[in-house]
Structure formats: structure tokens, C-alpha cells
């Protein structure tokens, strides 16, 4: 991935950075807040080898995409993803992590002609409620919530790094370099403000669209994700709000909030049959 030069899509005077690899049916990858398309560095080669054309996106305000957008909600991000798929020529499956899991849901609900399936990795896709019992019972959830709160309120890069340390229960082999990349990007003027803005967005817009999704949805959670006291229960609630038979939730044991970077082989193993099924008649 280091040698791939990004392309840029102009949307209302701003730019979305992305790169495209491989040939075949289209899969679009969208990362979470405070991150970049580089988080999918282990997943892209496997999908390309399996015969897919993979578009890896820096969502608005992140990575090499521009700053200065009017908003950073899931609905805003969904519009960008739909615009990119139209530009590249769909249909596509979207894989979205965290905030982009919710965005992928909205994209699927609002552009059913373009999106044939959604893979949601540790997604924030429905209205969240604070579980005092969960905070008291689950130490990692309590610590993660505290560190996210400090990031949102103070724009604290050290707090975000401490959150990432918790959200990656085990680290990729290249973690030192990747953490340096994340730290350097978030140190650029304006980037932390985007992370704070995304932290403050509520996933209610995505939750409201779950009933309108008509394509299959695969939800992948990590058993040690600090964002929820019970990650499986969160995934099951997403599936319950979908039409009967559309959703499936799988939990990767030992994974945190970034299964695509921490346990990429497991994510690819789960994703390939889903892609084959959902893109078969595209």
C-alpha cells in the first residue's frame, strides 16, 4: 500500500482521497474516526487476490482527504461513499468500521441500486445509551469511555493514544510505525477538530435507516472492544432492527475495536463468502 498514489474525488469543493487496486466487482472500504485508509493495509491485498476491485477511502476530514467540510455525521459520510461508488461505477459492497459502519447503513438504505451488501466492523449504527452497570462491571469499557470522553472534550492526543492502546488488545507487528503515522496526521492543524466533531455525532441517523436497508448485512464485533460492555449484544441489536433474515452478527474472540487491523485474516475469512453471495448477481 505504501506505493499507491491516491486519487481524489471533488465533492462540493472539497476532496475525498481514495485508491483503487485490483480488477473485478467493487468493494469499498471506509475506516473509523481519527484513522485513515491505511488501517485496511492487511485486508486490501487479500481482497484483490480474491478477484475484487477494492476502493480504499479516506473519509472526509481524515487521511489525505480535505478539511473544511460542513459536517461530519454518518449521513454526510454516507453521501460521500455513494458519490464515490457512482463515480467508480457500482454496484458495490461497503465495508465500514465504527462511524463508517453507520454511514454504510445509511448509504445502503438511500442508494439500494448501488449497494448490494454491507459489512460493518465494530459499528456505531444505532442510538447509544449509557449502561451504568456495564461501566461498573467491565473495566475495559469504563476505561475506554473515559479516554474517549477526554478526547472529545479536550482534543487530547495522549488520551486518544491511550484509547487506541486499549482498543488494540494485541498490536499488529507494525504498530509502532502505524501509531506514529496516526499521531503525525492528528497533529496536523484541524485534524483533531474533525475527530472531536465525529465523537460528538450521534448514530441516531443510522439507526433510523436500519428498517430501510434491503441488502444483506454482516456485523463483525470484537469480543474485547472497549466501546461496549457487551459487543455481541450491540451487534444483535443492530441485526434485530433490520428486516428478518438480512443480518448476521459474528464475534471475533480477542479482537478489539479494529478487527480489520488486529485480526485481518479472520475478517477476510468471514468477508469472502459474504462478498461471493452478495455480489454474485451484481
Q: What is the full per-residue pLDDT of the chain (282 aa) written as tens digits?
A: 455 789 999 999 999 999 999 999 999 999 999 999 999 999 999 999 999 999 999 999 999 999 999 999 999 999 999 999 999 998 999 999 999 999 999 999 999 999 999 999 999 998 876 666 666 676 777 787 788 788 888 889 999 999 999 999 999 999 999 999 999 999 999 999 999 999 999 999 999 999 999 999 999 999 999 988 899 999 999 999 999 999 999 999 999 999 999 999 999 999 999 999 998 766
C-alpha cell at 54: 477494492
User: Measuring CA to CA, which residue among 119, 94, 121 is closest to residue 107?
Assistant: 94
Measuring CA to CA, how many Å separate 274 from each of 207, 220, 261?
A: 22, 12, 19
**Could you tell me which of 206, 260, 205, 198 has the C-alpha nearest to residue 59?**
198
> Would the pTM of this model clear 0.85, i.e. be above it?
yes
Give the strands of the sheet with 247-252, arranged side by side.
Answer: 7-11, 14-21, 52-58, 25-30, 92-97, 115-121, 217-222, 247-252
- E strand or H helix at 96: strand 92-97
Q: Dig out the grid coordinates for 202 from the structure.
A: 450521534
Q: Give Cβ neighbours of residue 92 (< 8 Å, ≥ 6 apart).
A: 25, 26, 27, 28, 55, 85, 114, 115, 116
CA distance 23 to 54: 8
Backbone angles phi, psi at 78, to 5 degrees: -60, -45
Query: Pick from 105, 135, 119, 117: which is nearest to 241 by CA?
Result: 105
Helix (H, G, I), strand (E, B) or coil at 257: coil
Q: Does the domain formed by 7-129+202-278 have CATH 3.40.50.1820? A: yes
Amino acid at each position: 500500500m505504501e506505493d499507491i498514489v491516491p486519487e481524489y474525488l471533488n465533492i462540493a469543493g472539497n476532496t475525498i482521497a481514495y485508491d483503487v487496486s485490483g480488477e473485478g466487482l467493487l468493494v469499498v472500504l471506509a475506516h473509523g474516526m481519527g484513522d485513515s485508509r491505511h488501517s485496511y493495509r492487511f485486508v486490501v491485498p487479500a481482497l484483490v487476490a480474491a478477484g475484487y476491485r477494492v476502493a480504499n477511502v479516506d473519509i472526509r476530514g481524515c487521511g489525505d482527504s480535505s478539511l473544511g467540510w460542513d459536517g461530519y455525521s454518518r449521513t454526510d459520510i454516507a453521501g460521500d461513499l455513494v458519490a464515490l461508488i457512482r463515480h467508480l461505477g457500482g454496484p458495490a459492497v461497503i465495508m465500514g468500521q465504527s462511524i463508517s459502519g453507520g454511514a454504510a447503513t445509511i448509504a445502503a438504505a438511500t442508494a439500494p441500486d448501488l449497494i448490494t451488501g454491507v459489512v460493518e466492523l465494530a459499528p456505531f449504527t444505532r442510538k447509544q445509551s449509557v449502561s451504568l452497570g456495564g461501566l461498573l462491571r467491565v473495566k475495559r469499557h469504563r476505561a475506554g469511555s473515559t479516554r474517549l470522553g477526554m478526547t472529545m472534550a479536550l482534543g487530547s492526543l495522549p488520551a486518544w493514544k491511550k484509547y487506541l492502546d486499549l482498543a488494540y488488545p494485541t498490536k499488529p507487528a507494525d504498530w509502532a510505525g502505524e501509531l506514529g503515522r496516526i499521531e503525525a496526521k492528528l497533529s496536523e492543524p484541524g485534524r483533531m477538530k474533525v475527530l472531536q466533531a465525529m465523537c460528538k455525532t450521534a448514530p441516531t441517523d443510522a439507526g433510523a435507516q436500519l428498517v430501510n436497508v434491503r441488502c444483506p448485512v454482516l456485523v463483525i464485533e470484537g469480543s474485547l472492544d472497549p466501546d461496549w460492555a457487551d459487543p455481541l449484544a450491540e451487534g444483535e441489536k443492530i441485526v434485530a432492527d433490520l428486516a428478518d433474515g438480512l443480518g448476521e452478527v459474528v464475534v471475533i474472540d480477542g479482537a478489539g475495536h479494529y478487527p480489520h487491523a488486529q485480526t485481518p485474516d479472520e475478517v477476510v475469512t468471514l468477508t469472502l463468502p459474504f462478498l461471493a453471495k452478495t455480489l454474485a448477481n451484481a
